[in-house]
Amino acid sequence: MSFIQILVANLPPLLEGMGMTLLLTLAATLLSWVVGLATLATQLSDSPFIRIPGRLYISLMRGTPALIQLFVIFFTLPLIGLGGLPMLAAILALGLNSAAYVAEILRANTRVVGIGQIEAARAIGLSPFRTWTRIRLPQLLRASLPALINEFTILLKTTPLASVVAVTELTYAGQLVIARTFESTTILLATAAGYLLIALPILLLAQRLGLSAFKQAGGRA
Amino acid sequence: MIDLDLIVSVLPVLAAGLFKTVWLSLLGAILALGGGILIATGIERGPHWLRRTLSAWTLVTLSLPLLVLLYLLFFVLPEYGLTLSPTTVGVAGLGLYYAPYVSQLLLGALSAITPGQFEACRAMGMAPWRYMPRLIVPQMLPLLLPSMTGLMIGLIKDSALLSIIAVHEFMHAAKAAISQTYAPLEIYLIVALAYWLLTSLIDSLMRRLERRMTRHST
């Protein structure tokens, strides 16, 4: 069979896997923003009892492979009665991992909102909460957008790890097709193309909009 | 409660795995550095087609998961008659994957050097292989050190993926230890702690080096 024929014959499971990859990426991204913001809050606290645990969390998450974090979460969940949920383990692992990076990205940009603005907000009687939601956060997020887009694509590149706990995302879906058809070249190229199909438009759009954060940080195991 | 003796009995296996991880990461990093210098040179000085090819590869590594690249190297190359050992595939994969990132850092640091310095060197008749190591690279190093450290730590963590294609490194040793002890959580926590100590150590050493380098600059 030709390349195209093999591809067409096995397209449905691959597309399903791609959907799963997207779902995993989006769910983990959402989690990473929520936990990332909470972690940022710990870092801005005056109390060392809040700041140091937050720092430790960031350091641990950035200092160990995501693959191990996934395994640790995967083997911990059954202990709290949530066994047999690989997708949950994957979302938690990828999301909690990415959260540490999101917190660092945001922290690096907190200075974009000058002290003058915060004082002005207080002077006109805005509560600290409103100062955050109306003044600081919008500017902070805008300044962090390139790095956050970059982090999103890195998270996408981390999702194949979920295949080791048998989540049928794109990479694992491809492996299952290969196990059945032995067409490793075609299917692996299709798998690779699937990731490019998701990531390239985002990267190119970011470049076009001047939001490219082509800096450091590779993938993450 | 976990049997402590059992954990102690697998420590030699884990230590050997950790040593292998450090070794493989070092090889991968050297490959990535060499590749990065070549890619940066190609993008700066190369002909149009080379520039386009290297930029395309850079974009591909930005969007392709490392695991998929490893699978491609591991399963597709043998079909074209090139069978490599898992270790070779792993190190080559790390090098290929990280080289474009290194090149981007190098190009970034290079653009921070004022063009007048290059012109002055050329005006004095110096060849690139003389003025680069003596004048340009020493200025680039302090700029590169923090981001290169981040990349190196990323590479060490990514080397854990090599266990999936059966390279005998730290994660692989962890799996062997688990099949002996049936204590996955304990072993993975020990392994995570070791990775954390390793990356923290590199981080703090590089910070110290950076402080030494920038000691005399304002």
Task: List pLDDT tens digits, range B11-53.
Answer: 999 999 999 999 999 999 999 999 999 999 999 889 999 999 9
- Which among B63, B151, B185 is the nearest to A75, CB-wise? B185
Q: Which residue of A has its CA nearest to B203?
A: A63
Query: What is the percent of chain B with per-residue pLDDT over 70, rounded to a whole number?
Result: 98
How close is the nearest chain A Cα to the Cα of B37, in Å? 16
Residue to mutate among B18, B67, B189, with most A CBs inside 10 A, is: B67
- Which among A171, A198, A200 is the nearest to B67, CB-wise? A171
Task: List pLDDT tens digits, range A30-85.
Answer: 999 999 999 999 999 999 999 999 999 999 999 999 999 999 999 999 999 998 89
How close is the nearest chain A Cα to the Cα of B133, in Å? 23
Domains (range + CATH), chain B:
4-109+144-213 (1.10.3720.10)
Task: List pLDDT tens digits, range B167-208.
Answer: 999 999 999 999 988 889 999 999 999 999 999 999 999 999
pLDDT of residue A213: 64
Say how many CA atoms lie within 13 Å of A58 toward its Cβ.
22
Instruction: Cite the beta strand spans of chain B per DSSP E.
Output: none
B75 and A178 within 8 Å at the Cβ level: the answer is yes
| CATH number belonging to the domain at A3-208, selected among 1.20.1200.10, 3.90.1660.10, 3.40.50.10190, 1.10.3720.10 | 1.10.3720.10
pLDDT of residue B2: 63
B9-14's contacts with Cβ under 8 Å and 24+ in sequence apart are: B9/B180, B9/B181, B10/B176, B10/B177, B10/B180, B10/B181, B10/B187, B13/B173, B13/B176, B13/B177, B13/B180, B14/B170, B14/B173, B14/B174, B14/B177, B14/B187, B14/B190, B14/B191, B14/B194
Total beta-carbon pairs less than 8 A apart between chain A and chain B = 140
Chain A residues within 8 A (CB-CB) of chain B? 59-60, 62-69, 71-72, 75-76, 153, 156-161, 163-164, 171, 178, 184-185, 188-189, 191-192, 195-196, 198-200, 203, 214-221
Partners of residue B188 in chain A, C-beta under 8 Å: 68, 71-72, 75
A196 and B64 within 8 Å at the Cβ level: the answer is yes
pLDDT of residue A209: 83
To the question of pTM greater than 0.95 for the whole model, the response is: no
ipTM above 0.95, yes or no: no
How close is the nearest chain B Cα to the Cα of A220, in Å? 5
Residue to mutate among B43, B161, B165, with most A CBs inside 10 A, is: B161
Task: Give the span between the Cα atoms of A175 and B183, in whole angstroms.
Answer: 28
Q: Which of A100, A201, A87, A221 is nearest to A151 (CA)?
A: A100
pLDDT of residue A215: 44
Q: Which residue of A has its CA nearest to B99?
A: A218
A160 and B101 within 8 Å at the Cβ level: the answer is no
Phi first, then psi, for residue B194 (nearest 5°) are -65, -45
Task: Give the span between the Cα atoms of B1 and B197, in whole angstroms.
Answer: 25
Task: List pLDDT tens digits, range A171-206.
Answer: 999 999 999 998 899 999 999 999 999 999 998 888
A216 and B98 within 8 Å at the Cβ level: the answer is no
Q: Where are the domains of chain A?
A: 3-208
A59 and B196 within 8 Å at the Cβ level: the answer is yes
